[in-house]
Structure formats: C-alpha cells, structure tokens
Structure 1
C-alpha cells in the first residue's frame, strides 16, 4: 500500500459507491429483475471503485475505514476487507476481521464476498492460518475461501466437517458437496439432523451433490412446509435434483397449497417447458401471482426483458386491482400474450 497524491472527495466517493454497489449486487444476484448482463455492469462499476480505492493507497484505506466507522454496515465492511486482502497486508486483514465481529453472521458474509473477489494467490498466505486457528469465524472464512475457489484441503476437511461449531461444520459440509467428497458422506448425512434449518438445508444440498437425493429430499420437503424464509431455496433444490416428471407432480401439489402458491408459481420456469405459457399468462392476470409469474417467465426465456415493454414498474398501469402491489417489476399479461 502506497501513499500518493489524491483528491479526498473522489476517494470518499469511491468508498461510498463500492459499499452501495456491492449491497445492490448482493440483493439483485438472486433476484428476478436483473440478468447476467445487468449484474456484469454492476460488477464493472464495483471493480472500478475498488480499483480507485486501491490506486489511492493509504488515502483509500483511510476513506474505507472512516466510512465503516460512520456506517458499520456489510457493504462498508466488504470494501474494507477487499482492500486488505488485495494488498495482502496481514495487519489490515486483522483489522477487517475484528470489524466483522461486530456484525455477526452478516460480517462473516461480507468478508466471504471479499474473499471471493480476491485472486487465489493473494489468499494463500492467510487461508492456512485461518483454518489452523481456534477462532470459529476465521475457520469459517478459510472454508469460504476454499469453497469460492474450489480448493480441496485434503484430509483436514474431515475434522472440519465434524467440528463442534455449527457454522464451521456447515461450511465444511457445503465444501464436501461441491468437491464431490463422497468419503465425507457420513458427516454430510449427519448434517441432515443439524441444529438449525439452514444447516439442514446446506447438508441436504450437499447430499444431492453426492448423489444421495433419497436421504435429502424428505429434509428438503419439510423445510419447504415449515420454514418460509428458506422455502424458495428449498423448492429450487428439490426441483433441480428431481426427475422432470416427478418434479412436475411434486410442484403441482404445492401449487394447490395457498401458503406456497406464489413460490411454486415462480418455480415453474425451472423446468424450461414453454408449453406452460398459456397457464402462466393467466396467472399474470391475478394480482397476487403476477410477480411470481413474471419470475417464471424470465426463467423460460433468455431475453433481455429490459429491451421489451412486457414489464412495468408501476403496477397501477396494469389495472386498479394491481395498484396496491409494491413489486418493482410486473408482467403485463396482454403484452406477453401478444409477444
């Protein structure tokens, strides 16, 4: 990190924009509105602001740190962690890790995102240290680095997958699934009885990746029915790991359940079967299902819908029955039908 001549206002703006853009990216990446091209544009702007902070050297770090002091939020921590890791400065990395502690799981998630945007060679000096420490959050960070960069830690993953801390254990199980480590299947199966629904869902996905869908699906099905906050992810896992015919039958049952009708409708597009379009257009005429039908439409067609007039940002345009909705983008059934 070098100290160079800078314009303070510009550097401060880089720090603010980097935090904002990362938060927006995190919100939109799993959303239904922006496609890969749109996310790519956000990435370009995010990278430009990070590069601006790096080019500013010490002034860039000071701006990012001051921003976090004033606004101790995940986006600000992401910028702080990204700078520290890219510079490879152990003291600055330690500052970022200490800052993350105040944000709990959100802080760990922010640093994990910073790790994901850091080249593997720059992480190498830190990962072994993180995995060897007794500090659970740092072990989680080390496992996140291995997962993001798909690096197999070898035999030591066994101990991590059986760790006493659920956070460490869950991340190790996730990595075991991603790396197809069938030798760790006993630990992955044990995760199906984990302490929290999130841990159980992580283990279920790992089981599916290891070919053990028969063991995983009952756990996924229960989460769909009992955990509203995880139901969307659970439905996606279930459909993507189930044969098409059986998956359609499973989804049909959930379309008939009022509490799950919206999520189930949004998942219809995962099958890639455009024969469902007439039914989907009819759902677009129902205020409570229009948003979900729009999500399914986006999954069915690899189209930049921003270049069409099929979606509107003002629900009132569709009709008075839709005016109360706060969705940021809704499909217009008549336009979709004509399209």
Structure 2
C-alpha cells in the first residue's frame, strides 16, 4: 500500500550526473526487491520494512530530481538485470513522469516477466491512487487480459472498490483476473457477490478455488471455505500459510484443535500444526512451544508462533540466531549451511521466565 508522499516530476534543464543517478536507480531497484522479500516473510517486521521504505524514497527522490533524462539509464539497468526490482523502477518512473509511451513499455516488460510482474504491481501500489486512477479506469475494461489483471491488482493494493465491474471480473476468462478479483471481493467483504464466490470453489484453476475459499472465509462462511483452505494449507504451495491462517480463523476452536492434533501426528504436517497453534492466540501454549524449539524440524515454526503470540520478543536480545551451529549439532546437521531464523530454546525460556509469562501459562 502506498503511504508515500508524491512529488512533482519537473525535469531539470541542467545535465545530470549519470554515475550518481545510476547509483540511485540501482539502489532503488535493490531496496524495492528487498522490501518485497521482507513483506513475503511469515510475520514481516514492519519496523524494518519502514526503514527500507525511507531509504527507498530517498533514492526515488534522486530519480525524480533528475527527471526524464534518467530513462535511458533506467532501461539500461533493466537490460543488465531484468528482475522485479528493476521492473518496479521502470514502471514507477513511467507513471511518475506521466509518460504514456513508457507506461506501455513497462506493461510489455511486465507481460513477459513471469514472477517479475510483482515489480510492475509494486509500482502501482507505491503511487497514490490519484496518480494511477486514469490508467486503472482504462485497463479494467480493456480487451487485453493482462491489463485487466493489472487493474484489479491495483484495486487490491489500494483497497479500491470497482463497484459493478467486480462481478464481471469474477467471471473473467483469464484465471489470474478471476483469482485477484476474488481476493478483492473478500478484502472488501462484498456479500452481494456471495454466489460468485461460492461458484469459484468449483473453478478448474487451483488459485481461483483458493481465493474463492479465502474470500468466503472473510465473509464468515467458514463451513464452505474450510475444506479448500485446509487442502491448500497442507499442500505446501505459495499460499499455504495464508490458507492456514484463514482456516484457523474460519472454524470453531474445538475443530481447529482437533485438526492441529491430527497434523501433529505426521512428520510432514507437524510444522504446520506448530505454526497454526500460534495463530490461535493462546499464550498459554508458551511452555509447549519452547519444547518444540528443541526439535530442528519444528523450531522455525515454533519461533514464528512465539513472535505471533509475543510480539515483544522481537525487542529482546539473543532469542534467535541465523547460525544453526549456535543451536546445536542436531540443528547443524539438519540445516547445513542454510541461513534460517532459529529460536534458542534456553534463551527463550529464560526470557519468558523473567517476564512472568510462564507463570501466566500455568
């Protein structure tokens, strides 16, 4: 979502310093890509993301000040490294400078970029709605399915309701449009579209079925949503954690506890159960979580659940490590050279005792 101050894009007549501007371009692309990775984490650290945002805005200011003369440098940076961060900058600059031709160029780059299209959507999210409203109005009814996808994606990012158009988007021939439209309907809690959401559960595309279930969960129809949500959660795909959170929210506590118990009985799904337990909001499970932290297969999930239940743990020193060696030989053997955020069970227990959280759990 855009919380950033828009500035006018008045190009300077004085020549730019290419080396300095290129540094701004490269750093902005890197920072946005870093931001995207941070936001994709389980429980992103909003303070860290805010710090990245401040640094990113400084580099975008450098591009703003240099104006249209930056365009060859922006394209050169993309040609050298055609990734999502660079596409973000191409798209952001095209919109910032209100250049219709360059916006079209960004669209074509996004069309062929695969997952890199996140950079184009990220640029739409970064700009204020007023800066992209005319584009979205043109795209949402376009014959081009990719433009319709971009339009509804922008609506999701800004929480904008396309009103009567949304029903048509839920029946769009393009699966990506249907999926994002369902996500938007759920986010906006469009109860009038209930039948369309329910119909999405029978869609041939998995992503459409998932977002239909998620949207139904947001509307309080957990009985309809639960089977698909649990299927996606245990499937281990990109939406597994989102599905898990929605599934926990959609069913009564007793049903969720029974499901978690079943998941714990399998080594493949036990980490999901540990993570789901933290989503239920019961701080009394803290001693049990500390026990799970001693198991390499469950420690990452237990650490995430700790942070969900006790956000104040982020400010505590030395509760986590990125070095499996510090956690012990079994962790070193399990993770090898992988860098993962592991809770240190003894440190967590010591911290929890000092705060009185164990006493509260009894």
TM over 0.5: yes
5+ residue gaps, structure 2, are: 1-8, 352-362
Contact 2:110 2:120 in 1 (8 A): yes
- Give distance in 2, aligned partners of 1:174 and 1:127: 17
CA distance in 1, matches of 2:313, 2:15: 42
- Could you tell me which of 146, 150, 155 is aligned with 2:155? 146
For residue 53 of structure 1, what is the aligned residue in structure 2? 63
Which residue is equivalent to 1:337?
A: 349
Contact 2:216-2:225 within 8 A present in 1 as well: yes
After superposition, what is the alpha-carbon deviation per residue over 1:202-227, rounded to whole angstroms, capped at 9, x for unaligned?
A: 11111112222211111112223445
Match in the other structure for 1:96: 106
1:280 aligns with 2:292: no
- Structure 2 SS opposite 1:259: coil
> Bigger shift: 142-151 or 278-287?
142-151
Match of 1:62 among 63, 72, 83: 72
Residues 287-320 of structure 1 show CA distances to partners (whole Å, capped at 9, x for unaligned) of: 2211111111111112262541111221111211
Conserved in 2, the CA contact under 8 Å of 1:11 and 1:59? no
Partner residue of 2:89 out of 79, 101, 122: 79
In 2, Cα distance between the equivalents of 1:66 and 1:114? 18
Cα deviation, residue 55, structure 1:
1.6
Secondary structure at the aligned position of 1:57 is classed as helix
How big is each residue's C-alpha offset from its partner over 1:1-33, in whole Å with a ceiling of 9 and x where there is no partner? 524433222211111111211221111213247
Cα distance in structure 1, aligned partners of 2:261 and 2:33: 35
Kindly indicate whether residue 173 of structure 2 is the aligned counterpart of residue 164 of structure 1.
yes
Deviations 1:174-224 (A, max 9, x none): 222222222222221111122222221111111112222211111112223
Deviation at 1:128, TM superposition (A): 1.1
**Long gaps (5+) in structure 1:** none
Deviations 1:236-292 (A, max 9, x none): 110122333432332222122221111221232212212111111111111221111
Q: What is the root-mean-square deviation in Å for CA atoms of aligned residues?
A: 1.8
- The whole-number CA distance in structure 2 between the counterparts of 1:272 and 1:225 is 21
Question: Is this contact kept in 2: 1:291–1:327, CA < 8 A?
Answer: no
Q: Secondary structure of 2:220's match?
A: coil
Q: List aligned pairs for 1:1-339, cutoff 5 A.
A: 1=9, 2-3=11-12, 4-32=14-42, 34-104=44-114, 106-303=115-312, 305=314, 307-324=316-333, 325=335, 326-339=338-351
Aligned residues: 338
Q: CA deviation at 1:323?
A: 1.3
